[in-house]
Amino acid sequence: MTLSEEARTRLADIVELQPTKNGVLQERWDLDSGSEVHRYLESELKEYYYRDDNSLIRATEDAASLVGVAPGVEAGEGEGELIIRVDALEAGCFEVLAEPGGQPQSVVGVMNAVEARGTAVTSAEEVEEALQALRRKDVVEVVYRTVPGFRRAVPGDAVDVEIRQD
């Protein structure tokens, strides 16, 4: 199947952002609805993506090699190590979070810690989106209490964080 330039670009987005959701792709691709994303995926990229057990969108191995983009999450060299490619805010959020089993932090707590380290933050919503993106990469977990809290799902030294140049 030969892909158009638009389809190749969009496939590269899926590889980079995986695991991802229709809403994230809708925003990235400036589409009107998640349904429009689904229609595009099925009509143009059916051979190159799948949905995992959590219904998140992931690229096939062939997709990553076809577009030459490194996946958002991949196995590191050591056992249990991961490499994640994230933006600067996501990297800052991961850096300030407690280790697995540690005290979960609220979105506002993470925002304050990230700002204290010198990363500009425009809103708590922006921080929550970054935390949710990390959660979709399976490196952050949510602990539901009166206010949801976040902490690392894996030890920080088991993750190599690379900042994407968007």
Band of pLDDT at residue 1, cut at 50, 70 and 90: low
- For residue 19, whether the previous peptide bond is cis, meaning omega lies within 30 degrees of 0, is yes
Domain boundaries, the chain: 5-71, 76-163
SS3 97: coil
pLDDT at 51: 92
- Cα separation, 85 vs 124, whole angstroms: 22
pLDDT at 67: 79
**Cα-to-chain-centroid distance, residue 51:** 15
pLDDT at 73: 64
The reply to whether 76-163 shares the fold of 5-71 is: yes
CATH topology of domain 5-71: Arc Repressor Mutant, subunit A (1.10.10)
pLDDT at 162: 79
pLDDT tens by residue, 58-116: 888 888 788 776 666 666 666 667 778 888 899 999 999 999 999 999 999 999 999 99
The number of C-alpha atoms within 13 Å of 112 and in the hemisphere containing its C-beta is 5
- Cα separation, 124 vs 130, whole angstroms: 10
pLDDT tens by residue, 24-47: 899 989 999 999 999 999 999 999
- Cα separation, 64 vs 134, whole angstroms: 20
- Evaluate if residue 166 carries a pLDDT over 60: no
Q: Specify the CATH architecture of the domain 76-163.
A: Orthogonal Bundle (1.10)
- Cα separation, 142 vs 78, whole angstroms: 26
pLDDT tens by residue, 118-161: 988 999 999 998 998 888 788 899 998 888 899 998 888 888 88
Q: Helix 88-96 crosses helix 124-136 at what angle (to 10 degrees)?
A: 80
Per the CB < 8 A criterion, the answer to whether 93 and 127 are in contact is yes
